[in-house]
Amino acid sequence: MFSTPYNPLEELRRMILRGENDTVDFKQRVTQPEKIARTLVSFANTRGGTILIGVKDNGYICGIDPEEELHTLRLASEHYCDPPVALEYEEIDSDHRTVLKVTVHESVLKPHFAKVKEDDWRGYVRVRDTSVQTSKMVNKALQNEQPEPSPAFEKLPLEKHETSVLEYLQLNPRITLKQYMKLANISQRRAYRTLVKLVIHGYLRLHDKEKEDYYTLS
């Protein structure tokens, strides 16, 4: 058996066809380091991901000047991410337009924080196609979490206390942390780490705009 040679342009087209998701993000341009830092941090804190710069939200390849984008990315990764986020770059040409493919690996140094403004650093995780701000408890959970050996948590068997919350939400519209602790008879720390993990991997959706955070099925 011979493996198919890596073709950057074909791989780019496949990624664009699949659209934005929890591991792929499209950017037409990168001009503000504080904004792209949130995306870098969210990928590093979750399962890693790829940013395609020079691609519009609808998948149209508009192309960029890679040197300008590289300057902003390096500024963001080194000075607007704490700890700094390591990046890999690849320039891909399509019909005389250049797309910059930026790869962020899941970090062993999580949690990472993005500089929002002076003396204001916040954590983010990737949930579906957006970067979601974390709470202090989520950051503590991330600190104790190592990168998954498998790229797809969904394929791993869930434990009883993890399936219990999914079964509960099939019959009820929402659940809070305290309700889940009582349901599964587990500690606050373990309950929160479980909920964070289920949110990160697409099982649950976190709603944090109310007085008390709650979770629903994705």
How are the residues of the chain apportioned to helix, strand and coil, as percentages rounded to the nearest 5? 40, 25, 40
| Residue-wise burial string across 120-142, b where 16 or more C-beta atoms lie within 10 A, e elsewhere | ebbbbbbbeeebbebeebbbbbb
Whether residues 96 and 199 fall in one domain: no
- pLDDT value at position 146? 63
Whether residues 13 and 92 fall in one domain: yes
Whether residues 61 and 166 fall in one domain: no
In this structure, what CATH number is given to the domain that contains residue 180? 1.10.10.10
Residues of the chain with pLDDT below 70 are 1-3, 137, 144-157, 208-210
Whether residues 188 and 116 fall in one domain: no
- pLDDT value at position 6? 83
The Cα-based distances of 88 to 106, 132, 136 in angstroms read 12, 23, 29
Whether residues 129 and 47 fall in one domain: yes
In this predicted model, what pLDDT tens digit does every residue of 157-191 receive, in sequence order? 678 888 999 999 999 999 999 999 999 999 988 89
The last residue of a domain, from among 103, 133, 163: 133
Residue 76 lies in a domain: yes
Domain ranges, residue 40 = 8-133
Residue 142 lies in a domain: no
Locus of tokens 């599964």: 184
**Residue 206: Cβ within 10 Å count:** 22
* Residues β-bridged to residue 90: 101
Whether residues 101 and 23 fall in one domain: yes
The last residue of a domain, from among 101, 133, 165: 133
- pLDDT value at position 138? 72
pTM given for the model: 0.73
Query: How many folded domains does the chain comprise?
Result: 2
Q: Would you give the DSSP letter of residue 16? A: H
Residue 75 lies in a domain: yes
